[in-house]
Structure 1
Amino acid sequence: MAVPDVLRPYVTSLIAYDVDFGAPGMHRGMPSAEVTSALPVDDPLVTSWGSGSEPVTAWSLVSGLHTRPATIHHHGYQRGVQLGLTTAGVRALFGMPAAAWRGELLALDEVAAPGGVRHLPELLAEADPRTWERVVVAGVIDALARYGEPGPRAEVGRALALLTGGAGVQEVADDVGYSRRRISDLVRAETGVAPKQFQRLARFDRSRGLVGRIPLAHAATVCGYADQAHLTREWQEFAGCTPTTWLREEFPFVQDLADASAVDSGA
């Protein structure tokens, strides 16, 4: 579903999902420059930071910015709705900066006020799947009307937009009119990560939408990496695997991955 115009300052994506993996297993919850909120139906989400960490089981989940993949456990299928939120969306819906959730996996009832999005899990459980996205839109609009808070300072919003577009930290500081240290402090206070890290997360986001669709060398150029090897190193840091490994794990039936090993080698 396309995000309604009224929500675009706050919501970057709204996706109802119904996925059959064929067998129980795990998949990666990837790092991003956005805050993710997941609303599962049928079964709660079971999520962890990998081996050795205690799983979080919840009927709703919000995850702050993180630079390592989460592990999402499933029984072979998953249904629900996923939201991508901007930093302004986090403030408007929850009255706090995204930095408050840095590296956290939290249930909605831990962070949301009564009404609005807090009760979306119950509403989705009772709704026809064909209406799930409309139910979520209505809940978000209601929450904004009840609890909406001012977004980040204008200069912080400007800085984040420039970093998302690939601008360097000094370039951002010059544009906003602050020192590099001052803009770094403001971005970290809003997002929980330093400007350079936020920029890298945004670039990783862009590459995730391109891998598997175009050759990796081309994706590297389009996204602003020095070369394909640079892209692959960033993926190994943020995703814990190469792009081709991720594609094989997450999309094993995609036809155009038949020669994925050739893509990995740059052929």
Structure 2
Amino acid sequence: MPAQQRSAALAPFVATLSPYELGPGPAGLHRGLPSSTVSITIPEADALEIAWLGRPASRERFRAVVAGLHLDPAELRQEGGTRGVWLTLSPPGAAALLGVPASALAGQVADLADVAPAMAHLPERLAACRSWPHRRALVEAALIAGLARHRASTGGPGLRATLAALSGTGRVQEAARLLGCSRRHLSATVRAGLGVTPKEYQRLLRFEAARGRLVAAARAGTVSLAAVAAASGFADQAHFTREWRAMAGCAPAEWLRAEGLVPKSSIPLPPPGPTMGA
């Protein structure tokens, strides 16, 4: 199948497919933030070590990892090579491409070979590729094969309509009204499909929107935490900072510095406060 046709077939299910680089040197470290998508990380060389932030005993080693929807930050460490392929799937995409509902993966990390045995070959095959176009084509081909096996397991139009309603309003009750169902029915649908509550899903969406605005502002050199908070639906900057600490394990300014998105002196740090791990 030509590349354009592969991309079109996968578009409803794949949100992101890109190379990643954790930095120069023999080891890379990355903070994985809460997400409303299912993510797959495939290193080119050595395996990944992942631990939920604040829980050192949770550290595990994976050749390639699948992470479900989660509301807590994680720490990813990769040694022996810091590059690879990263992709994110919409919740219906997890079932359509991997054959596993997103609800079965919620709050968890697992090896790709255990979740989708037919894709167990990807790490070794990717390591042999010499260019990004070849790596992308290899991953897309594996996803297309998965779609052929599991297309009937997408969750149907009901789940997609439910997620669209939740993303289009900030209140669960309003989403239920738009869908013409009870709040209880909405909650049951979301829990069965995603493994989180409707309120938690909206919380993830708001956090991701705020993260996108924060990154865009940092790249434009116009970071204003108050403006990001207001545009993302938070009551004020303090509310935004508390929520960011709870979900990212650090303040927004600390995260921007750690990601290299702002100079170390450009945003004053807030007073120290507690952080929340997984």
Q: TM-score w.r.t. structure 1 length?
A: 0.89
- 1:126 is matched with which residue? 128
The yes-or-no answer on 1:177 pairing with 2:180 is yes
1:197-212 matches, cutoff 5 A? 197-212=200-215
AA at the equivalent of 1:122: E
Deviations 1:183-234 (A, max 9, x none): 0111011111100010000111111112141411111122222221121111
> Greater CA deviation, 24-33 or 167-176?
24-33
Among 245, 250, 258, the alignment partner of 2:254 is 245
Per-residue displacement from partner, 1:87-116 (whole Å, max 9, x unpaired)? 1110112223111012111011111142xx
In structure 1, distance between residues paired with 2:22 and 2:29: 13
Secondary structure at the counterpart of residue 37 of structure 1? strand
Q: Which residue of 1 aligns with 2:91?
A: 87
| Number of residues of Structure 1 aligned to a counterpart in Structure 2 | 260
Q: 1:191 maps to which residue? A: 194
Specify every segment of 5 or more residues in structure 2 that has no aligned partner in the other structure, as ranges: 218-222, 272-278
Q: Of 220, 229, 232, which aligns to 2:238? A: 229
CA contact (8 A) 2:22 2:30 kept: no
The answer as to whether partners of 1:20 and 1:76 remain within 8 angstroms in 2 is: no
Does residue 261 (structure 1) correspond to residue 264 (structure 2)? The answer is: no
Are 1:11 and 1:84, in contact at CA under 8 Å, matched by a contact in 2?
Answer: yes
Counterparts of 2:181 and 2:197, CA distance in 1: 15
Specify every segment of 5 or more residues in structure 1 that has no aligned partner in the other structure, as ranges: none
TM-score (norm 2): 0.85
Counterpart mapping for 1:97-112 below 5 A: 97-112=101-116
Name the CA distance, whole Å, in 1 between partners of 2:28 and 2:42: 19
* Aligned residues: CA RMSD: 2.4
Distance 1:166 1:232 in 2: 22
Distance change (3 Å), C-alpha of 1:44 and 1:199: same
Asked if structure 1 preserves the Cα contact closer than 8 Å seen for 2:257 and 2:263, the reply is: no
* Structure 1 partner of 2:274: none
Q: Give yes or no for contact 1:98–1:191 (8 Å, CA) kept in 2.
A: yes
Cα-to-partner distance string for 1:34-70 (whole Å, 9 max, x where unaligned): 1111011111111011333232211110011111111
Please give the alpha-carbon distance, in whole angstroms, between the structure 2 residues aligned to 1:106 and 1:206.
Answer: 26
- How far 1:236 moved relative to its partner? 0.9
CA contact (8 A) 1:31 1:66 kept: yes
**Residue 63 of structure 1 corresponds to which residue in structure 2?**
67
